Amino acid sequence: MAGRAAAVRRCHHWCASTWQRGGGATNSHDEHRESQPGKPGEKEPDIRFTLANERTFLAWNRTALALVVAGLGIVQLLPPFPRVPWGRHVLGIPLIALGAIVSVTAYLEWRRTQTAMRRSEPVPQSVLPRILVGTITGVAALSAVVLLVSAVR
């Protein structure tokens, strides 16, 4: 097992040997895979990788909910910006929309990853970090604009 784990670390991207580790040994993970035959050429991965993929999905969804709360907090809890009545909505609504986008994208990425693991293919790169960084940077820039307009006008 330790040797296989070391081999996993050496593998540049996760590949067939990673998803199907356990080799020919009979254990509970293999029984799980064999009990769920998929399409031809597909095989359920080790349950631990399935669970890890699921945890990643759940973590992204908690991030999505945090974005929704942040957006709602900006709209409902912040006092209005002086001379910029639309300021709170301009900042809060993109965050709420990002929450919905992150959740839907996380599900699509969970499916893609699960399918890649079933086919013993490399896991596709996630687009979510880029979406998150882009939107949060945009909202930060927008915050600066709203604050400047509010102060200067």
Partner 1 sequence: MPPGQPEDCSPDATALPEDPEDLSPGTAAERTRLAWERTAITFGVVGLVMLRDEPVAGLIVLAVTPLIWALARYVSAVPPPGAQARARRLLLVAVAVTGVAVVAAVAALLGHGGPVRLP
Both tokens of residue 43?
């095989």
Q: Work out which of 11, 82, 83, 111 binds partner 1, going by CB under 8 A.
A: 111
Say whether 80 sits in a helix, a strand or coil.
coil
Task: Quote the tokens at residue 13.
Answer: 């991207």
Residue in the structure block whose two tokens are 């699509």: 108
Among 14, 20, 113, 114, indicate the residue that binds partner 1 (CB under 8 A): 114
Contact 44, 20 (CB under 8 A): no
Report d(CA 22, CA 148) in Å as an integer: 59
What binding mask, one character per residue, do residues 24-63 give for partner 1 by CB under 8 A, x or -?
-x---x--x--xx-x-----x--xx-xxx-xx-xxx-xx-
Q: Which amino acid is at 77?
A: L
- Residue 84: strand pairing partners: 81
Residues that bind partner 1 (CB under 8 A): 1-3, 5-6, 8-9, 25, 29, 32, 35-36, 38, 44, 47-48, 50-52, 54-55, 57-59, 61-62, 64-66, 68-69, 71-73, 75-76, 80, 85-86, 88-89, 92-93, 96-97, 99-100, 103-104, 106-107, 110-111, 114
